[in-house]
Structure 1
């Protein structure tokens, strides 16, 4: 098995754990505060990760360049606003549906990867991605009548538009991060990914701190007081991001993000055990389609 596959699965699990913890934090911190903890508490860990790779493993720290900084900033900003949209989405719908809407990302990531990076996809891979997205759409209509009109209504709803926008911006972020890591040109994909992660989380932390200082300083105090639960979000976030960045340095974005749809399996488990949400037959069918799409992608 190629290394990017287990790394991506680990990233999906950690991302789902982080999102579940953020959903719980939103009630006490608000949307922006619950989004910030992902970056603010993750930054020191990202720097520590680079330090271990350099000091213990012996990897050289790559030299930064303007191309890297440009893509890292674009990716960092996109991830901030995509995260804010996703956390807000959890207040409009349950955890499973909110996450499912954002999983339109693989097709959007494939499009952005094609337009910005010139990445090619085989016909089999495109079909597998489409199967997975059909599963996502089936989940989104799980509690509505199955009809073209219902599908259009579901896709045009405020919840769907926010979810799809979140997925699209996450797609831009994924492509930007891969571009940033590749711009470092060595010494190896793991160190390139770690350096990108540390730089981006540092930029995101500074950006959001300035934003909160200018608009609501009390939010910073609430984030600091919740350090026990917030640090878990930061830990899950930085470990997940390290896995994502490493996988995307090894493999094109569309393939990594498509395999990452396995997160929905973890999402349904979290919905069932953590939030006591129950699934109907259509939701389960959508989940199976997504898993089928993932397997088809790997075969392709």
Structure 2
């Protein structure tokens, strides 16, 4: 098994854990505060990770450059706004469906990867990705009779548009992060990914602190008061990001994000067991299609 596969599965699990914790916090901190904790409580761990790789493992620091800085800023800003869209989405639909809407990302990531990086994917992988996206759309239609009219309504609803926009901006951030990591040309993908993660999360924390201080300083106080639960979001977020960054340094973004749709399997488990939200047969069928798409991606 190629190394990027288990790393991506771990990233998907950690991302689902982080999203579940953010949904829990959204009610008390609001969209901006619940989004900030992902970065604010995560960046010290990201810096510590880099220091461990340097001091304990002996990996040298890669040389930073302006290309890296450009893509890191683009990716960091895109991830901030994608996260805010996703957290807001949780207040409109249940946890599983809210996450499902954002999972059109692999197709959008494939398009951005082709346009920005010139990356191409095989026909079999395209079919597997489409199968997974069909599963996502089936989940989004699970609460209404299946018809062309309902499909159009589902795709143009406010919830769907926010979810698709979230997926698009996450796709941009993923391609930007891969570009940033590859531009370092350092000792290897692990250190390159770690440095990218540390720089990006530090920038995101500074950016959001300035934004929150300008808009409403009370948000910062609320975030500090909720440090016990917020720190868990930060830990899960930075560990998940470390896995994503490493996987995307090893493999094309479209493949990594398509395999990452396995997160929906974890999402349905969290939706059922943690939030006690009911999952119907159509949503289960959509989840099965996503799993089929994942297996197709791995073996086609």
Q: Quickly name the TM-score band, shorter chain normalised.
A: over 0.9
2:82 paired residue number: 82
1:202 paired residue number: 202
Summarize the alignment of residues 156-235 of structure 1 with structure 2, pairs less than 5 Å apart: 156-235=156-235
> What is the CA–CA distance in structure 1 between the aligned matches of 2:210 and 2:147, rounded to whole Å?
47
> What is the CA–CA distance in structure 2 between the aligned matches of 1:165 and 1:184, rounded to whole Å?
29
Q: CA deviation at 1:225?
A: 0.4
Structure 2 unmatched runs, 5+: none
> What is the CA–CA distance in structure 1 between the aligned matches of 2:266 and 2:284, rounded to whole Å?
13
> What is the CA–CA distance in structure 2 between the aligned matches of 1:284 and 1:34, rounded to whole Å?
29
2:8 paired residue number: 8
Summarize the alignment of residues 41-80 of structure 1 with structure 2, pairs less than 5 Å apart: 41-80=41-80
1:129 paired residue number: 129
1:98 paired residue number: 98
1:17 paired residue number: 17
Q: CA deviation at 1:116?
A: 0.4
1:96-135 Cα deviation digits (max 9, x unpaired): 0000000000000000001000001110000000000000
> What is the CA–CA distance in structure 2 between the aligned matches of 1:80 and 1:107, rounded to whole Å?
20
> What is the CA–CA distance in structure 2 between the aligned matches of 1:275 and 1:33, rounded to whole Å?
21
> What is the CA–CA distance in structure 1 between the aligned matches of 2:273 and 2:63, rounded to whole Å?
45
Paired residue secondary structure (1:142)? coil
2:28 paired residue number: 28
> What is the CA–CA distance in structure 1 between the aligned matches of 2:72 and 2:124, rounded to whole Å?
31
> What is the CA–CA distance in structure 1 between the aligned matches of 2:243 and 2:167, rounded to whole Å?
19
1:194-241 Cα deviation digits (max 9, x unpaired): 000000000000000000111100000000000000000000000000
Paired residue secondary structure (2:142)? coil
> What is the CA–CA distance in structure 2 between the aligned matches of 1:19 and 1:85, rounded to whole Å?
12
> What is the CA–CA distance in structure 2 between the aligned matches of 1:189 and 1:265, rounded to whole Å?
28
Paired residue secondary structure (2:56)? helix
> What is the CA–CA distance in structure 1 between the aligned matches of 2:110 and 2:85, rounded to whole Å?
21
> What is the CA–CA distance in structure 2 between the aligned matches of 1:118 and 1:147, rounded to whole Å?
37
> What is the CA–CA distance in structure 2 between the aligned matches of 1:122 and 1:13, rounded to whole Å?
26
Paired residue secondary structure (1:104)? helix
Paired residue secondary structure (1:103)? helix
1:152 paired residue number: 152
> What is the CA–CA distance in structure 2 between the aligned matches of 1:113 and 1:262, rounded to whole Å?
21
TM-score, normalization by structure 2: 1.00
2:282 paired residue number: 282
> What is the CA–CA distance in structure 1 between the aligned matches of 2:141 and 2:158, rounded to whole Å?
14
What is the number of residues matched between the two proteins? 300
| Cα RMSD (Å) | 0.4
TM-score, normalization by structure 1: 1.00
Q: CA deviation at 1:278?
A: 1.3
1:244-292 Cα deviation digits (max 9, x unpaired): 0000000000000000000000000000000001111100000000000
> What is the CA–CA distance in structure 1 between the aligned matches of 2:97 and 2:283, rounded to whole Å?
9
> What is the CA–CA distance in structure 2 between the aligned matches of 1:134 and 1:260, rounded to whole Å?
15
Structure 1 unmatched runs, 5+: none
Q: CA deviation at 1:186?
A: 1.4
2:254 paired residue number: 254
